[in-house]
Every structure is written in structure tokens, then in C-alpha cells.
Amino acid sequence: MAILNILEYPDQRLHTVAKPVAEVNEQIKRTAADMLETMYAANGVGLAATQVDIHVRMLVMDTTEERNEPLVLINPEIVWASAEKSLGDEGCLSVPEIYDGVERHVAVHVKAQDEHGQWRTIEATGLQAVCVQHEMDHLMGKLFVEYLSPLKRNRIKTKMLKRSKNKSEA
């Protein structure tokens, strides 16, 4: 397994729309394992393949406090979403140290393949529902900052560019 490089906003590759996974093979299984290792190492609760510059419809997540229930969702699709929505602070491994309010469905049902290629439906609520919606946005080339006002988005972009410049000078 390996820890992968996480792309940071405003990297244009984060806006790439992911393609469906044609076959759950050894390469996909290895990538899922690497993504989980990367997510845990970065103290995240979710990670989309797009964030590690792999543009296939796959995400990993673990929203448990114990960090012992990893989920791999391949070709995920929301098949039901609650009418009720909730506003909550979100952060993102691709936008480190930035948190802001985003409105999401409080519950969703997601149909996806697991790391063995088996189809299953996850009934997600709470943090798990927020996480899966956030990561699926990544697969569509959308980041949570795009839900914010243009002013907030520009401030975040400026901050991230400055952060990147400081990292490269170090």
C-alpha cells in the first residue's frame, strides 16, 4: 500500500469528471486500499479518487469514531434523498484547514459496488450522508467551496495559493 498525493484547490484537475469503473479488478482494489491508507493518514473521513488524480468513480470513507469501518464505493449513485436538508460545516482534504457551511440532504440511499464488485445499497444518515454527498460531488468535478459565495470562494483561493507558494519555497 502507498500514501497518495492529495490535490489541493485550486488545482484544475479537481474539476475533472470521473469516468465509471468498467471492471473491479486488482488495480482498482489496490487503488482503494491506497486511498484508504491516504485518507486515514490525513485524518479524513472520506476521499474521492479525483482528489488523488485518479479520475474514476470511486470513493472511500469511514465516518466511525473508532475508524474501523472502511467503506469502498465504486460507481456510486444516489437512488433516494430525503426532502429534509441541514446546514453543517464541512471541510475537505483538498482544501486544508478551511471549514464552512454547506446544505446537504440529511439522509440518502446510495447504490454502489464494493471492493469485490458486489452491488449494495447504503442507507446513510448524519455524517455518513454528508460525507458521501461531498465525495460524490468530487466525482462530478465539484468542490464544497463552490457552494459558497464568490467572495468567500475567492478568499479561500487566495489563501490556498499563498499556502502552496509557501510550501514550495520551504
Active-site annotation, residues: 135
C-alpha cell of residue 15: 474539476
What is the SS3 assignment for 30?
helix
What whole-number distance in Å separates Cα of residue 110 and Cα of residue 132?
8
Nearest Cα neighbor of 130 from 74, 84, 69 is 84
Is 134 within any annotated ligand binding site?
A: yes
Q: How far is CA 99 from CA 42, 48, 57, 93, 167, in A?
A: 16, 18, 25, 11, 21
C-alpha cell of residue 34: 491506497
Sign of the Cα pseudo-torsion (160, 163, 169, 170, in order): negative
Is 138 within any annotated ligand binding site?
A: yes
Residue 108: CB atoms within 10 A of its CB come to 22
| Residues contributing to the annotated binding site for Fe cation | 92, 134, 138
